[in-house]
Amino acid sequence: MSFLEIENAVKQFGGLRAVDDVSFSLERGEIVGLLGPNGSGKTTLINLISGALPATSGDIRLNGMQLTGLRRDRIARAGVARTFQLVRILPSLSLMENVMITAVFGRNTHWGDDAKRVAMDALDMVGLSARATAAAGDLTYIDQKRLELARALAAEPEILLLDEWLAGLNPTELSEGVALIRKLHQGGLTILMVEHIIDAVRALCPRVVVMNSGQLIADEATDAALSDPKVISAYLGGDVDA
């Protein structure tokens, strides 16, 4: 039994199958890239795993526990945390207050000083602990992304879903972001990351799964996938000679 198992996942919006019979699995401790052109169904699949959207059909299991059909809070309690393409923070609250929310409602329930400790540890991990009392609304975009990652980490997840978390970073920030994700992975966290920055994918992910038009078109070693004619065709359009 694999750690995360996705079997025949389908998400239908009217006549559109945004996720079309997708199956793959992750072992505990893996870091895997989820690739594909815009509109390929990557974020929809992340939404199915995290419970943000209900699956039309199929099964998603984490460590043998059926996630399909559960409320998103139950899925969070099971150990799933995520970031979003569009940053979602509470601007009127402090950084500490933003992160304490997930310390309370994440996989383990923390209250009072214990919740503050977990939140501070998460802020420290992303380099924001010195600004714990600052208002989240005063952060730059890049620091808002760091805050969102801290919120996910404060949930103490078993699996972290990153939806283009590295997007919009300058070269120095990108290098720091790659190093941070590598550190989280080396600490034992299982990570599934949607990403368009191929250099970051090569640096972090030995394996990728690739989607196009809702379907899985590749699941293989990163270098092999990035030279796969089907993958090249999906990104560039048209036919690519084998």
Domain ranges of the chain: 89-155
Q: Distance between CA 120 and CA 61 in Å, rounded?
A: 31
- What separation, in Å, do the N-terminal and C-terminal C-alpha atoms of the chain show? 35
Q: Distance between CA 122 and CA 125 in Å, rounded?
A: 5
Tens of pLDDT, residues 114-167:
899 999 999 999 999 999 999 999 998 889 999 999 999 999 999 999 999 999
Tens of pLDDT, residues 198-241:
999 999 999 999 999 999 999 999 999 999 999 998 886 644 43
Cross-strand partners of 82: 161
Extract the runs of DSSP E, i.e. beta strands, from the chain.
Answer: 4-13, 16-26, 31-35, 57-62, 65-66, 80-82, 159-163, 190-194, 207-212, 215-221
Q: Report yes or no: 56 and 121 within 8 Å, Cβ to Cβ.
A: no
Cross-strand partners of 163: 194
Q: What is the CA radius of gyration of the chain?
A: 18
- pLDDT-above-90 percentage for the chain: 80
Please state the length of the chain: 242
Q: Distance between CA 93 and CA 79 in Å, rounded?
A: 25
Identify the band that residue 42 occupies on the pLDDT scale cut at 50, 70 and 90.
very high
**Ordered DSSP codes for 80-115:** EEE--SS----TTSBHHHHHHHHHHHSSS---HHHH
Task: Label residue 223 exposed, middle or buried (CB < 10 Å: 0-12, 13-18, 19+).
Answer: exposed
The pLDDT, as a whole number, for residue 110 is: 79
Q: Distance between CA 188 and CA 169 in Å, rounded?
A: 25
Q: Count other Cβ atoms within 10 Å, centred on residue 14.
A: 5
Mean pLDDT rounded to a whole number for the chain = 92
Cα 214 from chain centroid?
Answer: 18
135: which DSSP letter?
B
Extract the runs of DSSP E, i.e. beta strands, from 109-206.
Answer: 159-163, 190-194
The pLDDT, as a whole number, for residue 132 is: 94
Between helices 171-186 and 112-125, what is the axis angle to 10°? 130
Q: Distance between CA 178 and CA 186 in Å, rounded?
A: 12
Between helices 171-186 and 141-154, what is the axis angle to 10°? 10
More confident residue, 241 or 8: 8
